[in-house]
Amino acid sequence: MKISFIGSGKVGAAVAYTASLKGLAQEIVLTDAFSDKARGEALDILQGQAFTPQAQIKYGDIKDTAGSDIIVITAGIPRKADEPRVLLLSRNAGLIAGLVKEAVLYSPDCILFMITNPLDVMTQLAYQVSGLSANRVIGMGTVLDTARYRSYLAEQFGIDARDIDAYVVGEHGETMVPLVSQITIKGIPLTELPGYESAAIDRVCDEVRIASGQVIALKGGTVFAPAASACAVLEAIVKDSNQILPVCTYNSEYGVAVSLPTLVGRHGAGPVLNVPMTDCEKAALEKSVANIKAYVAELP
């Protein structure tokens, strides 16, 4: 398994490091517009290898990513705390289109894993310009928001986050939809938990919506939750686990890239699963999809 990173900033480097700790690849290649940054991060990971799983950690330019099984794209300008993710559209679109095309030339059989924001638009763009089938262009999407949702629910109700089945779907952005009607704890509806009150769920949903802005305001950017979430997706691909994750993929029913619970394995992503939703949740998802489409229409 060869995993290459286009963009070795804070998030790219953290994903690469986490992937190396999890032993997800035999070969990891870091690239960055600032080549010293890629070299520095690669050397830093390499120097710890006496105590971590062994992998070849390399740095270089896009040519060195040739033959990758997975290409992780984190390149681009990140957002500030008070900026919506979508403001990055004009900043990142041209850059990402060029990088995707070049990466696929060197790795025509790869799975593209998109992390750059605005996530849904960048996934749609990568799907359009890469020529790859939809199952091989995967955005991290609301996997990250889902991680936050489960973590905050776990904290609120004092239970193990890994026992919680709950999803955030739709846009990885302002209109994300935390699904409340389907939350279960190992098959038991959340409403059956001692101490359950619907106001607490509303508070958790609000917290999830502002979660990244809060971290960005405090430390300048989100890093560890994105790295953990990205590596959950990478692990599902590498181990061919067919895990259900709300990744972002082009959805022919909606006509745009959007996050929904999807099987993820060595083939990439798909099929998308039908989650039961209330009418209110369905309407919120439709609104979220419309929002993504409006942003996609702004692509140059």
Q: According to the annotation, is 7 in a ligand binding site?
A: yes
Name the residue with tokens 């997706």: 233
How far is 217 from 225, CA to CA, in rounded Å? 15
Q: Which residues contact 198 (CB under 8 A, 6 or more apart)?
A: none
How far is 76 from 79, CA to CA, in rounded Å? 10
Question: Looking at beta carbons only, is 58 or 172 nearer to ligand 2OP?
Answer: 172
Cα dihedral value 19, 22, 24, 28, nearest 10 = 40
Residue 172 annotated as catalytic: yes
Nearest distance, CB of residue 262 and ligand 2OP, angstroms = 19
Nearest distance, CB of residue 201 and ligand 2OP, angstroms = 20
Nearest distance, CB of residue 300 and ligand 2OP, angstroms = 22
Q: According to the annotation, is 135 in a ligand binding site?
A: no
Residues 83-102 that bind ligand 2OP (CB under 6 A): 85
Question: Looking at beta carbons only, is 107 or 151 nearer to ligand 2OP?
Answer: 151
Q: According to the annotation, is 36 in a ligand binding site?
A: no
Nearest distance, CB of residue 16 and ligand 2OP, angstroms = 17
Nearest distance, CB of residue 298 and ligand 2OP, angstroms = 18
Tell me if 126 sits within 8 A of 96, measured CB to CB: yes
Question: Looking at beta carbons only, is 137 or 248 nearer to ligand 2OP?
Answer: 248
Residues 153-192 that bind ligand 2OP (CB under 6 A): none
Q: According to the annotation, is 9 in a ligand binding site?
A: yes
What type of residue is 286?
Answer: E
Catalytic residue among 172, 238, 292, 295: 172
Q: Does 18 help bind ligand 2OP (rule: CB under 6 A)?
A: no
How far is 17 from 231, CA to CA, in rounded Å? 10
Residues 117-156 that bind ligand 2OP (CB under 6 A): 117, 144
Residues 205-244 that bind ligand 2OP (CB under 6 A): 212, 222, 226
- Closest to 115 in 3D by CA, of 132, 130, 96: 96
How far is 102 from 171, CA to CA, in rounded Å? 27
Q: Give the HSE-up count for residue 63: Cα atoms under 13 Å, Cβ half-sphere.
A: 0
Q: Which residues contact 116 (CB under 8 A, 6 or more apart)?
A: 7, 73, 74, 75, 76, 88, 92, 96, 122
Question: Looking at beta carbons only, is 29 or 169 nearer to ligand 2OP?
Answer: 169
Secondary structure (3-state) at 272: strand
Catalytic residues: 172
Residues making up the binding site for substrate: 79, 85, 117, 148
Binding residues vs ligand 2OP (CB under 6 A):
85, 117, 144, 212, 222, 226
Binding residues: 7-12, 32, 79, 85, 92, 115-117, 148
